[in-house]
Amino acid sequence: MAESNRLAVCIIAKDEAGNIPHAIASAKPVADEIIVVDTGSSDGTPDVALSLGARVLRHTWQDDFSKARNEAIAAATSEWILFLDADEIIPEDAVEEIRSAISADADAFFVSIESRVRSQAGRIFVNSFPRLFRRIPGVKFEGKVHEQILPSLQRQGARIAHSRIIIKHAGYDLSRAEMTEKLKRNCRLLEAELSQDPQNGLALFHLGETHSLLGDYERAVECYSKALDDDLVPREIKAVCLQNYAAALVKLGRYGEALEKLEAAESFNSKLLSLYLVKASALFGMKRYSDAEDEIKRYLRKARHFVSDPTYRLDYNPDMASALVLIAKCRLAGRDNKGGREALQEALRLDTSYDAHVLLAKLAFEELRFADAVVHFEQALLISPEDERLHFELAKAYLACGEIGRAIEVMTGAVEQGMGGSAFLKCLAILKIKAQDFEGAVEAYQAALAQDASDEDTRKKLAGLYHRLGRQDAALAVLSSGKQS
């Protein structure tokens, strides 16, 4: 590669020993140098990166992602820089696109980042940022989190173009606990950013997003409202901000206000597909099921002719399966079980869908088709193994099929994973009694009581079980311990 077209792939990382080999391997076909800035790993990430040929810099974490990224820029020697997160990869078909871009007459390129998420608006979220750029003096990242380089490029008069480069991101494929921790960290950094710059519309937008993901929709509405009312949001994301504002309002049951925001969003950007699904959700909440289905069909018509816009994007790729699931919910709410089932089955023909499996399972259970319910609950659990409610529903379906042993296996597995607390332990005790495993039931009740010593109902049931087993002293002891506590 010509000296002027040399490329540095830069990665910042902390405790990414499991992910970084994939990131580095994907960068090697196109990178002339790979720089990893480690911000304090304790899992051997720097050693892994070194062993794979990367240059590793140690950076003291200062609650600021821009500082870490800018250290990588300062260390690079190549003409071009491409930033990659440790949980991202460059697909093989993007390699030639990158080579073509850095040979073109531009200074920076927007790159699309595709992330798998779970949302009613879609499952592939796409945002575009200028991740690929020349190493121009004065160009640097800004912002403690959700850091941006675009303002700096614009101030330096850089020629910015759009590309067809796609990077795959797995950073939202986390456990619930890991995601909560990540979101709380982002909240803290965004609030620190806003304390220094209260008029930072982009930080307000991202803080609203973060509060929504944490389920704090009141706080999200406050952030979106301030960003929009004070006209602080960059124009290119105003429609998305209005849409996300509306989605938070839907969660709060403020459906009329949500529809107003969505009308405004559509006037800014009618190509924003996901806003039609949010609108359908608002109409569904108002029990206007037919109108909601009409909006989803509108989404489907537009999705069939969707062409990705290479300009600055914050949107979901078309997701026909998710749209069909929403149609099914409208039909089921309107008592059209047959139409709902057909929409769910069509969704599954298009793609694996957690929601479709759960709804088909519940529908089968209501119709006393317990074996079918088991099949769909099992498939849903493969997609979302941390879903506590699914374990309970699957156990219930097995019990309805007369397979008490399988029901016990499911609940035992859930309890061993720390799910459900004392409620799951009490369910397990009942199942053990049905299976005539009284000693097993005693163990489950004991464990439930250990978690909640104030539960007098469990105490009485455990005492009764001891009495049934002829262990009168144990029955008296468990009852008397309740009086003492």
Question: Average per-residue pLDDT in the chain?
Answer: 90
Cβ-Cβ contacts under 8 Å for 12 (sequence gap 6 or more): 36, 37, 38, 39, 59, 65, 68, 69, 72, 85, 86
Q: Are 98 and 151 in contact (CB under 8 A)?
A: no
Beta bridge mates, 160? 108
Q: Which helix (H) or strand (E) holds 407?
A: helix 404-416
Q: What totals of helices (H) and strands (E) does the chain contain, helices first?
A: 22, 9
pTM of the entire predicted model? 0.73
430: Cα separation from own chain's centroid? 35
How many whole angstroms separate alpha carbon 304 and alpha carbon 434? 52
What would the two tokens of residue 114 be? 């595709």
Domain 3-169 class, CATH top level: alpha beta
Q: What are the angstrom distances between the C-alpha of 263 and each of 22, 242, 259?
A: 43, 9, 6
Q: What are the angstrom distances between the C-alpha of 313 and each of 168, 236, 239, 251?
A: 15, 8, 11, 24
Phi/psi for 453 (5° steps) reads -70, -15
Residue 416's Cβ-count burial label (10 Å; 0-12, 13-18, 19+) is: exposed
Confidence band of 110 (pLDDT split at 50, 70, 90): very high
DSSP 281-323: HHHHHTT-HHHHHHHHHHHHHHHHT-----SS-EEEPP-HHHH
Q: Where in the chain is the domain with CATH 3.90.550.10?
A: 3-169
Cα 283-286-290 angle, rounded to 5 deg: 50
Q: Give the mean pLDDT of 224-248.
A: 91
Residue 231's Cβ-count burial label (10 Å; 0-12, 13-18, 19+) is: exposed
CB crowding 32-60: b at 16 or more within 10 Å, else e: bbbbbbbbebeeebbebbeebebbbbebe
| 55 has a pLDDT exceeding 70 | yes
Phi/psi for 163 (5° steps) reads -135, 170
Q: Return the SS3 of 34.
A: strand
CATH architecture of 388-484: Alpha Horseshoe (1.25)
Share of the chain above pLDDT 70, in %: 93
Q: What is the pLDDT of residue 125?
A: 74
Cα 29-7-88 angle, rounded to 5 deg: 60
Beta bridge mates, 109? 132, 161
Confidence band of 317 (pLDDT split at 50, 70, 90): low
Amino acid at 398: Y
Q: What is the pLDDT of residue 152?
A: 93
How many whole angstroms separate alpha carbon 460 and alpha carbon 23? 57
Domain 176-336 class, CATH top level: mainly alpha
Q: Are 82 and 7 in contact (CB under 8 A)?
A: yes
pLDDT tens, residue by residue, 273-301: 889 999 999 999 999 999 999 999 999 98
Confidence band of 174 (pLDDT split at 50, 70, 90): low
Q: Give the mean pLDDT of 163-184.
A: 82
Q: What is the pLDDT of residue 312?
A: 47
Q: Which residue is associated with the tokens 């694996």?
A: 352
Q: What is the pLDDT of residue 236?
A: 80
The half-sphere exposure of 45 on its side-chain side, counting CA atoms within 13 A, is 27
Q: What is the pLDDT of residue 117?
A: 63
Q: What is the pLDDT of residue 246?
A: 97
Confidence band of 114 (pLDDT split at 50, 70, 90): confident
Q: Where in the chain is the domain with CATH 1.25.40.10?
A: 176-336, 388-484
